[in-house]
Structure 1
Amino acid sequence: MPISYLSPLLDMTTLHLEIEHHTQYHYETAVRYSIQELRLKPPNSHGQSIKNWKILTPIKTKTNQDAFGNEYQTFVQDAPYKSMSISAKGEVISTGGYEYTDLESAVSPYYLLQQTRLTIPSPEMMAYFEKTLPKKADLDSVLELASAIRNTITYQSGITNFATAAMQSFAMKTGVCQDHSHIMLSLCRAANIPARYVSGYFFAEDSPNLASHAWVDICTDIDKSKWLSIDVTHACITDNRHIRLAVGRDYYSAAPIKGIRSGGGQEELSARISIHQIKVL
């Protein structure tokens, strides 16, 4: 569904949401060994509180915290398998918000000035967005850039994937929220503004294809670690429909599920995310 058909963003009422996220993997041949890393538990912070959250995996996981303050789980499978299922389910009470101070991350905002393979801009990108590059990290400037990206990169699923770089999406003039976010990261960093990728969920009953979502955090004050959250796909600030999972330098460092494996051959992946409103408090 084209993004222009989405309903306007909600007011700042509290939402009580139930989220289910199921991922199923099937392999052509047996996987001999694999390591999985999951960022599937929303944090109790930034305008959201979590209730009854459970992550189901084939074997027991180990929980850690990364340098960005994200909680993550890992598990290793060393017995052969040809299918694997990972599920997360729970409730979130969301009040929303788009400005906050982050004291949990050990990563300096200066580190987020560095481009990654997924965010390196092309000369054509820089020339195209030259007039809308922010001179400073204020709300009006970053929203103007987000609007320019949204209007340039047509929202269309199935064309790009997790490995598509910002310059590739720009060249095709198409992509999804991940691509919008990578281009925003690319241009903000080029303008000497620290920015980071946010993975999460988006509650939109009329557009379930947007349940898995991504946006960006812009650092407005490096010394005080103050951040501003911008949904580039909607060209707006984030609100109570945005549920944060993790932050990172790009999609790969904040991905809900990632891993490595030995064997398995061709992989077939299916994912299903449902978000239902329980009640408005």
Structure 2
Amino acid sequence: MHLKIRHRTEYRYETPVRYSIQELRLTPPSTAGQHVDKWKISTPIKASSSIDSFGNYCSVFVQESPYTSMMIEAEGEVHTHDAFEFVDDAKAVSPYYLLQQTNLTEPTDEMMDYFAYSLPKNNSVEQVLKLAEAVQGLIVYSPGQTNFATTAAQSFAMKSGVCQDHAHIMLALCRASNIPARYVSGYFFAEESPNLASHAWIDFCSDIKKGIWTSVDITHACLIDARHIRLAIGRDYYSAAPVKGVRSGGGGEELSANISIAQLP
């Protein structure tokens, strides 16, 4: 598919923000399953670019003049095709590092007991997809019930969440089963599901020695395909977030995000 993506994030504040730092992971890589034809990020002031420890494109900008609103836009075109395996390069983070839980993924005893019969015995695609189906079957997709700070344990307790929560629970259970797993942020194209345009899933390491990772969409309990566009990978949402920052001042914050994905001829 040839897809055109536009992602707009707008912040408004009650009082002027005096100082802020924004960190963006809004540039998709050209990798297995996708080729980026063109991509542009627009920020209030010039951003500096780098590659982070996970190999993500990262942009950072600092605002030192007061402001009460801020707009960040990313747009471009990507060609996609079906692919669900990814091979690490020589500089990649060790899969063993991705066995560690984080504050967002730490499982509870209740979670481990509930999924005991679905936990993978090995890192085969069949076993991990069986777990994805169990997570999807329990956690009802319910926008508005959780937010970026909701933990896997909290989502499990509520039995509801969104793709981010599905991913965090899946990471918790894979890592507890001694299978390295990482969070993937990205986009999902489906004309009938515009609320899934911003999406998240996981990679699990299917061959540690060769650094091969297989991508699983827990919300759809399937391997990823040409509908998925990868943005960034990390230990959890926080380390792969498309937009995050810290600020001084501003009072209350109102955030609006709009993502549109269109298929081109």
Q: Same fold (TM over 0.5)?
A: yes
Write the distance in 2 (CA, Å) between the matches of 1:17 and 1:273: 13
Write the distance in 2 (CA, Å) between the matches of 1:105 and 1:140: 29
List gaps (5 residues or longer) in structure 2. Answer: none
Return the letter of the residue paired with 2:82: G
Q: How does 1:54-203 map to 2 (within 5 A)?
A: 54-103=40-89, 105-203=91-189
Write the distance in 2 (CA, Å) between the matches of 1:105 and 1:251: 22
Specify the SS of the correspondent of 1:27: strand
1:68 and 1:104 in contact (8 A); partners too: no
Deviations 1:139-160 (A, max 9, x none): 1100000000000000000000
Aligned match for 2:20, one of 17, 30, 34: 34
Shift of 1:106: 2.8
Q: How does 1:173-252 map to 2 (within 5 A)?
A: 173-252=159-238
Return the letter of the residue paired with 2:156: F
Write the distance in 2 (CA, Å) between the matches of 1:259 and 1:100: 29
Return the letter of the residue paired with 1:97: A
Specify the SS of the correspondent of 1:240: coil
What number of residue pairs does the alignment pair up?
265
Deviations 1:152-200 (A, max 9, x none): 0000000000000000000000000000000000000000000000000
Specify the SS of the correspondent of 2:117: helix
TM-score by length of 1: 0.93
List gaps (5 residues or longer) in structure 1. Answer: 1-14
Q: Moved runs in structure 1, 4+ residues, more than 6 A? A: none
Shift of 1:226: 0.5
TM-score by length of 2: 0.99
Write the distance in 2 (CA, Å) between the matches of 1:105 and 1:202: 28
Shift of 1:105: 4.8
State the Cα RMSD in Å: 0.7
Return the letter of the residue paired with 1:135: K
Deviates more, 1:243-252 or 1:49-58: 49-58
Q: What percentage of residue pairs aligned between the two structures are identical? A: 65
Deviations 1:43-94 (A, max 9, x none): 0112111122100000001000011100110000000000000000000000
